[in-house]
Structure 1
Amino acid sequence: MLIRKRSLRARLLLWLIVPMTAFSLAAGWFTHASARRTADLLQDAALLAAARVMASDVRWSGDNLVASVAPSTIEIVGTPEGDQVFYRVEIAGGAMIAGTSAFPPTRPAAAPRWYDARVGEMPIRAVTLTRPMYDAGRIVDVVVSVGRTLVSRDAMVASLWKPQLAYILGSIAAAMLLVCAGLTLELRPLARLARELTAHPPAGRARIDDTDVHVELKPLIAAFNACLDVIERQALTQRRFIADAAHQIRTPLTLLGTQLQYARRQGNLDDVRETLLAMHHSNRAMVTLINQLLMLAQAEAADYTTFEGEAVDLRDVVTRAVEKLALAARRRDIELAVLIAAPLPVTGSETLLSAVLANLVDNAIRYSPAGSQVTIEGDVQDGQDGQIAIRVIDQGPGIAADLRERVMEPFFRASTEEGSGLGLAIAREIVRAHRGTIALRDAPGGGLSVELHFAARRDE
């Protein structure tokens, strides 16, 4: 787990070491098996040669068979390692003619047969063959067996196998060293990139030049440069937002300070009350502004995945917003009409969506003339799996086409009416967080139509 998380070089080496180790084990096993087969073939050939010589030395002496085994025959299977040699010459199913009684007898074989056996506690390799002996019309099978201990065989296996194994292991070790050196050289571009990034101050982070880097690193560098572009744009937007917010907050604070100084100089109680009332209005405007700034920050930080499982009926949200603003509408002699016949299920945050619709309806009431109507329409387009549309329509002055994008920027106001210029900016961010769209259009008969589109929620 630590290797997978911390070191690219270690991971690459691990991917190399594991198959190389498996290859080494397989190669060692095959090399040992090949060496043993070679040693067995040589030993078996020597045993067969000695057995044939012994069989050829068996002869008739009168009615009996005799075998004379010369020392030179034993030397055929003799070894410098001092292996013990055993032999046995016997009549098939009968008496032993010559040899070592401790050498266990074996059955006759039509062809030479090699086998492993034990003499006492010593393992041996042996061969047996049968020679028919003819005399006066009769046939007697003579079984000749020759065996030898395994000291020389094992020594030959080691002499054949160990050099090959050493060669394989040495080659693998050399390959690993070369790979380590190659990785160190080939990973240098990453170290160079780190140095380049460290050399630039965070405030002016330069883009990385991918001219001399490997092809495999170019997508990474391109993505990193694109990320820097996004970060710079966001930082610029944030700095501009902070500057605008500071300016917007400073104005009511300055006004509040002026009103306090004025109130201190007043000797008339009625003038003091009037000043305090004005201070109350200034304080309420500042609280409203701060609440809108907090809502905008919350909207910008909202992520669809955080409320992906929440179901919201926009018809209920609209109904509550209208009930909340009904008194404000009556004060301005404005009629509120809701034209939503069916539920409008979407996925999202009920708190944020309520803020959007309440803000849009409040704006429509504020900018509509007395005696007019504000209409909120909603429907599902293109069937149940399509888009849900909400339209807030007023009969006010509307917004010029060339200003409709700018009015959704923070603190921009298209008119001199009282307000912070944050309402539509908040609406845009919340709608965007819900993967929806917002558009400003001319309303039929004059006025403004704010249209919201969301994906309809599908219950599994």
Structure 2
Amino acid sequence: MIDSLRLRLLLWLLIPMTVYVGLSASDAYDNAAASATLIQDRALVASARMMAGQVTWQDGAPVVSIPPAALEMFASPAQDAVYYQVLMDDNTLLAGRPDFPAEPDFAALHPAYTTTDFDGRPLRVVSYIRALYDEGTLRMVAVSVGQTMQGHQQMIGELWQPSLRRQLVLLLLAVALVVLGLTIELRPILAVKDELAARDPNSLTPLRAGQLQVELRPIVEAINQYIQRLNAQVTVQKRFVADAAHQLRTPLTVIDSQIQFARQLDDPARLPQVLAALHESSRNMTDLTNKLLQLSQAEASNSGAFPRGPVDLIAVAATVLEELAGLALKKGIDLGMETELDSAVVNGNETQLAGMLMNLIDNALRYTPHGGKVTVGLAREDGGGDGAQFVITVSDNGPGIPAEVRERVFERFYRNAAPDQPGSGLGLPIVREIVQASQGSITLDAPGDGSGLVATVKLPALPG
């Protein structure tokens, strides 16, 4: 596998250009060979016609006188050998070599060309037929002229090689320009690389596209989008650490004060009371810590750490109600579920959805007075632009939440309760994070009679 972008782009250029140069060179060679053959053939037929014009009758017999000009036209630096033969139609040799490799067709109307071997060398031959009259007698005379092909090959080289050189120079020039162009055009992306290498490890500012080409800008845009998501994730983590440090400082301080007070206590009879208070503080801190961890998990529920799949909300709700039945019984609260569905399957994480229901129902139980009622409802809504969805309602007849602060209760650590009432202010923020990660929505409203609170969660139904 070739890793170099320059080399790979060069190959994309060189392969087609090499094929083109090869085909072009082959075509140029064929054209040069055809031109050289045409020139040689014209010289051969001109010589043959000149010789044929010298055939005459003397004393009733054909004779021929070969003019020097008929052979001088073949003079060339290649010093090709020239052979000829003048033959009557009765195979009477008038001039030339008797072993000349030609078999003229006396019935031919046009010059006939052929390439053969003679004396171990290729020979280009033309046979020209002329009619000869003598006192009403018609005789045919064949003049055959042949020339070796050294000059023919030299002429091909002279015609073909300049074209080949031009093609090779063009190929080398294209390679050089591609290398130079890539070096210049890659500078902006290398500048982005240098900017990344030089920046502070904690810097999450977006990259500058600068003079980056249009085709490369999506890379920087994708990196910037990743930086933005990473920045949001880091911000969430920093906020979580700050919130955790701030919220844990108070109970830790209280526990430390209680320990110091117990150490200075002189009356052993008061020790159980101090230990009970210490135990309560420890339990509150444990609850706060669990809530903080749950909030952290809810914020990260969009990541791959929480795989998603089909989850039956009815089964999850039944499990949560079983776990909270003891708390409801302790407070004398009527806790139940109302639904006409056999199943309510959504795409989500079972642990996260169970945590969402746990917080909603736990909040309702905490703020509903003794002898109250908390009801979990589950229904299906079909149609609409968003498709089918399941509607979960958790309603109670407690003090409710005023309309003007219903949105604020989703803020971290905001509590719409009396100072001495237990709670961390994290339950509803956890619920919203989980619901949003599941592509759902949550709203808070007052029941029809105006007392209590109804939390409504809508989650997309799993198709199928």
Question: What TM-score comes out, normalization by structure 2 length?
Answer: 0.82
Structure 2 residue aligned with 1:444? 448
Distance 1:70 1:207, change over 3 A: same
Q: Distance in 2 between matches of 1:223 and 1:13?
A: 27
CA displacement at 1:219 relative to structure 2: 5.9
Structure 2 residue aligned with 1:396? 398
Aligned positions of 1:30-429 closer than 5 A = 30-60=27-57, 65-91=62-88, 94=91, 98-99=96-97, 101=99, 103-105=101-103, 107=105, 109-119=108-118, 121-135=120-134, 137-196=136-195, 201-203=200-202, 228=227, 230-266=229-265, 271-303=270-302, 310-342=309-341, 343-383=343-383, 386-415=388-417, 416=419, 417-429=421-433
Structure 2 residue aligned with 1:458? 463
SS in structure 1 of the partner of residue 390 of structure 2: strand
Q: Distance in 1 between matches of 2:98 and 2:389?
A: 101
Distance 1:251 1:176, change over 3 A: same
Moved more, 161-170 or 63-72: 63-72
Q: Distance in 1 between matches of 2:104 and 2:279?
A: 121
Specify the code of the residue in structure 1 equivalent to 2:414.
F
Distance 1:222 1:102, change over 3 A: same
CA displacement at 1:280 relative to structure 2: 3.8
Specify the code of the residue in structure 2 equivalent to 1:423.
G
Q: Deviations over 1:402-421 (max 9, x none)?
A: 44444333333333432233
Q: Deviations over 1:419-457 (max 9, x none)?
A: 233322222222232222333333333333322222222
Gapped runs of 5+ residues in structure 1? none
Question: What TM-score comes out, normalization by structure 1 length?
Answer: 0.83
- 8 Å contact 1:92–1:107 — kept in the other structure? no
Distance 1:265 1:166, change over 3 A: same
RMSD value, Cα: 3.6
Specify the code of the residue in structure 1 equivalent to 2:130.
R
CA displacement at 1:208 relative to structure 2: 5.6
SS in structure 2 of the partner of residue 347 of structure 1: strand
Determine which of 18, 23, 48 is the counterpart of 1:21. Answer: 18
Moved more, 388-397 or 55-64: 55-64
CA displacement at 1:321 relative to structure 2: 1.5
Gapped runs of 5+ residues in structure 2? none
Q: Distance in 2 between matches of 1:402 and 1:95?
A: 131
Distance 1:361 1:65, change over 3 A: farther
CA displacement at 1:245 relative to structure 2: 0.8
1:435 aligns with 2:439: yes
SS in structure 2 of the partner of residue 79 of structure 1: coil
Q: Distance in 1 between matches of 2:440 and 2:204?
A: 34
Specify the code of the residue in structure 2 equivalent to 1:371.
G
CA displacement at 1:243 relative to structure 2: 0.8
Q: How many residues align?
A: 456
Moved more, 393-402 or 94-103: 94-103
Q: Deviations over 1:77-122 (max 9, x none)?
A: 3431122334444456956654362525354543234343333543
